[in-house]
Amino acid sequence: NAGVTQTPKFQVLKTGQSMTLQCAQDMNHEYMSWYRQDPGMGLRLIHYSVGAGITDQGEVPNGYNVSRSTTEDFPLRLLSAAPSQTSVYFCASSLSGGGLFNTQYFGPGTRLTVL
Amino acid sequence: AQTVTQSQPEMSVQEAETVTLSCTYDTSESNYYLFWYKQPPSRQMILVIRQEAYKQQNATENRFSVNFQKAAKSFSLKISDSQLGDTAMYFCAFMKYSGGGADGLTFGKGTHLIIQP
C-alpha cells in the first residue's frame, strides 16, 4: 500500500511552459485535492474532486486545471507557468464517508520553480 | 469562509519539557473537524491528532493532546515529554462538515517548534 504518491519531486520550468504534476493513491479514496504551500502562508486549496468525473475549485484555482478520469489519479496541469506559481504542491486524499473518515492523507509534495 | 490563526510563529523548548501550541479559528459552521499536522524538514505532512467538534472530550494520541474549547473557538496542542524528533512545523487545520462528504482543509500559517537538546 503506497498511499499517496506524487511525481516529480522537483521541477524547474521556464515562464510560459506547461506541465502536469501527477498524483495517485491506492487506497480507493473518493476525495482528492491539491494544495500549494508558500513560505509563511500555510497550505491553500487549489482544486478538489469528490469522485471520478467530478472536480471543483478551491481557494486559489487560477492558472491550474484538473480532471479526474479514474478514482486513483488526479493530475494538476499548469498550462502556462508563471513565476507566481513557484511553490510546493501537495496532493491529498481521503474517504468520503463522514466523520473522521474524512481525514486527509498527504503525498510527499512536489517543489516547483518557475524562472 | 473560515479562518485559522496560529499566533506563535516560532517556539523553542528544552527536551523533555511540555509545550503548548495555540490555534484559534473563526467559523459560522456548527459541525466541523479540527486537525493538527506536523511537517518535519522532509516536508511530509503527517497527521498528529484530530477532533470532531461535536465531541466534548479532548482527543489524545500518546504524548499529544488537545484542549478544545468550542465556545472560545480554540484548539491548542499540548506535547508532553518533548523529544528532538518533535522539531517541525505544526499546522492547525479546519474542515467543515459537508453532509457526510469530505471537504477542503483551511490551514493556519504554522508554528515552527524547535526542541533543544
Express each pLDDT in B52-64 by its tens digit.
888 888 989 999 9
What is the pLDDT, as a whole number, of residue A75? 98
What is the pLDDT, as a whole number, of residue A2? 77
What is the pLDDT, as a whole number, of residue B31? 85
What is the pLDDT, as a whole number, of residue B100? 60
The pLDDT of residue A11 is above 90? yes
Q: For B69-87, write each residue's pLDDT tens digit.
A: 999 999 999 999 999 999 9
Q: Which residues pair with A21 in a beta bridge?
A: A76
The amino acid that residue B94 corresponds to is F
Q: For A71-114, write each residue's pLDDT tens digit.
A: 999 999 999 999 999 999 999 999 876 666 678 899 999 999 99
> Grid coordinates in use for A113?
520553480
Pick the closest to residue B64 from B82, B41, B46 (CA basis): B82
B102 lies within 8 A of chain A by CB: yes
Q: What is the dihedral of CA A33, A36, A41, A43, to 10 degrees?
A: 20
**Chain B residues whose beta carbon lies within 8 Å of the beta carbon of residue A88:** 43
B35 lies within 8 A of chain A by CB: yes
**Chain B residues whose beta carbon lies within 8 Å of the beta carbon of residue A38:** none
Query: Mean of the per-residue pLDDT values for chain A?
Result: 93
**Chain B residues whose beta carbon lies within 8 Å of the beta carbon of residue A97:** 100
Determine the Cα–Cα distance for residues B26 and A64; give it in Å rounded to an integer. 28
What is the pLDDT, as a whole number, of residue A96? 75
